[in-house]
A and B are shown apart, each in its own frame.
Chain A
Amino acid sequence: MSTLTINAIRKSYGAVETLKGIDIALESGEFLVLLGASGCGKSTLLNIIAGLAEPTSGDIRIGERSIVGVHPKDRDIAMVFQSYALYPNLTVHRNIGFGLEMRKVDKAERDRAVHETAKLLQIENLLDRKPGQLSGGQRQRVAIGRALVRNPKIFLFDEPLSNLDAKLRMEMRTELKRLHQMTRTTVVYVTHDQIEAMTLATRIAVMRNGRIEQLDTPEKIYNRPATLYVATFVGAPPMNLLAATAGEGGLQIDGSDIVVSVPGLESAAPGRRLVLGIRPEAIGKADGVLSLSARCEVAELTGPELVVTAMVGNQRIVAALPASTKLQAGDAIVLSADPAAFHVFDAQTEQRLN
């Protein structure tokens, strides 16, 4: 039985439809990340799960029970907000225990739960402070504590790390993963950050314009993106997209005479417009099956790698090469890639073909 079942959820604001039929079934203990650009509907979906917005149509079940129309407090969920949403005039202790206090849990039991949670999050020494006296990272821990203490069926996170600086964000990410491994509670987590999605999720739902483009494991999302949008949204630097045409001997890259045969693409009708995607990190220097003569335009050393922007024929391509590579603007290079790492999409439908 699924813990959370989202069935044909639609949401309209007047004539604008922000969710166009969402279906997800989540097993107990899963960590689902809703990933997408701003305005894709991911936060709306989370608010609908939380009960802060009602769907126009469709059903949501937690376990067997439909929760559409049920008050947020009765859904057995807890939510962590991007802005932390701590109560400014209450101490950390009361902030964490507020949900229990409102549910009339007796004081001794409440104190025990608050201390246990605070210990888990290493914020025991902050219990008497007010939110105004805490750093961003500490506030985030308190917000997580407030959710944890209630031991709900499902945790909802709305971009919880967006307000933290880069270093703290990484620490908290690891912390969240550790907490999830420990508690094994089902999580729905909204973010636009693909690294967060890749590192935390057991499954990712990539959303676009109110629809799910692909719902899959992080490995599949990265290695076998179902659509052109998913291919470009996940991965940094983004996947290279080369315009191509299906030909007799395989796939011909436009603006060059390079023809590649891609496994699984034999059936494509000649003349069909295609897009060939190659991840920058799948491109090497010289020793692959496919070799492309290119001219280096820009070489950027990021530390662990050298990101090279080069021209192949009249198309631009980005390659992530080992940091030790010696290359300067204007240099001629031969780039290579293995057809096994090729992603081929239909230019019209943007669906994956191979």
Chain B
Amino acid sequence: MSGTWMTTRAWLLMLPLLIIMLAVIGWPMIDTVRLSFTDAKLVGAAGNFVGFDNYLKMLGSSNFQRALWATTWFAVVSVTAEMVIGVLAALLLNQQFYGRTVLRALLILPWALPTVVNATLWRLIYNPEYGALNAVLTQIGLLDSYRSWLGEPGTAMTALIIADCWKNFPLVALITLAALQAVPRDITSASLVDGAGSFARFRFVILPYLAGPLMVALVLRTIEAFKVFDIIWVMTRGGPANSTRTLSILVYQEAFSFQRAGSGASLALVVTLIVTVLAIGYGMLVRRAAGSAA
């Protein structure tokens, strides 16, 4: 069979998928770019061409800047916490103890829950009237009276970050746990004989084996955190006082609540651009981590 025929056949086999992808991703993308240069509303007329107006207005608006800051804060804090807690949990679950298998299986539960379920669950925990968090904190004497954790701008973002961490640290823990299985026993034994304590052993012996997989987890989690929408939408809808309004929430509000399809589209493209830059940057880091581990 000739090479040309193989190539043709490969393209033929991929063709249906390519058509579907172009239809559901390519076309909307191109149309979003077109929309972003117009003043189109969500319904009604097609809108007029306004050049870079949408972009300039948006970049200058305090709404965008605050949303960008909220998103960055959410992403950095939640991903950092998830990485640290995830690695610690994995190190614990890698020890020999009774009931380890059950705990390992339970670990996956928060991550397996749909985000909406998780968000609803945490809304109940944070409930200002009958929430478990208020009950626990008042009963152990840390709190005088019940508070509205999601209703106060000072605590809403932290409450959201905790909920997001609870859901997503298991992913990091699972990836780490898998990577830990790949650390050769001889190497940990050698470090014991060499006299390395727990910290030195982690730093010099185990961490190099975790670097690559952890980098992948970091990339996945950062990109997801930057695009975060559902957990916030269910828990706070961007409030109170827009304190938890991230970029994706802003896009949604702009396009669907305020029905400004044109500026919504420009905002969506900026978010896409930020995430793409992050993905490329991280991609380079991953390759470097993989290179140094080999």
Contact = CB atoms under 8 A, between A and B. Distances in A.
- The range of chain A's interface size is 20 to 34
Contacts of B191: 87, 98
A261 B167 CA distance: 84
B205 A87 contact: yes
Interface string A299-315: 00000000000000000
Secondary structure type dominating chain B contacts = helix
A84 B194 CA distance: 14
A99 to B, nearest CB: 4
Nearest to A94: B204
Given A81-B190, A85-B190, A132-B294, A103 B195 contact: yes
Nearest to B184: A83
A89 B194 contact: no
Given A87-B205, A87-B208, A79 B193 contact: yes
Interface stretch (A58-66, A70-78, A192-200, A206-214): A70-78
A98 B195 CA distance: 9
B205 to A, nearest CB: 6
A118 B195 CA distance: 21
B194 A73 contact: yes
Interface in B193-227: 193-197, 200, 204-205, 208-209
Contact of A102 (B184, B186, B197, B294): B197
A341 interface: no
B194 A102 contact: yes
A132 B200 CA distance: 21
Contacts, number: 66
B189 interface: yes
A146 interface: yes
Nearest to A143: B190
Nearest to A89: B208
A83 B186 contact: yes
Interface residues of B, number: 20
A139 B3 CA distance: 44
Contact of B195 (A73, A82, A90): A73
B189 A79 contact: yes
A90 B194 CA distance: 14
B195 A81 contact: no
Contacts of A317: none
B196 A102 contact: yes
B192 interface: yes
A269 interface: no
A88 interface: yes
Interface in B30-45: none
A35 interface: no
B187 interface: yes
Interface of A: 47, 50-52, 71-73, 77-79, 81-90, 98-99, 102-103, 132, 146
Q: 10 closest A-B pairs (Cβ-Cβ)?
A: A73-B195, A85-B186, A85-B190, A89-B208, A99-B194, A102-B195, A81-B186, A85-B187, A72-B193, A72-B192
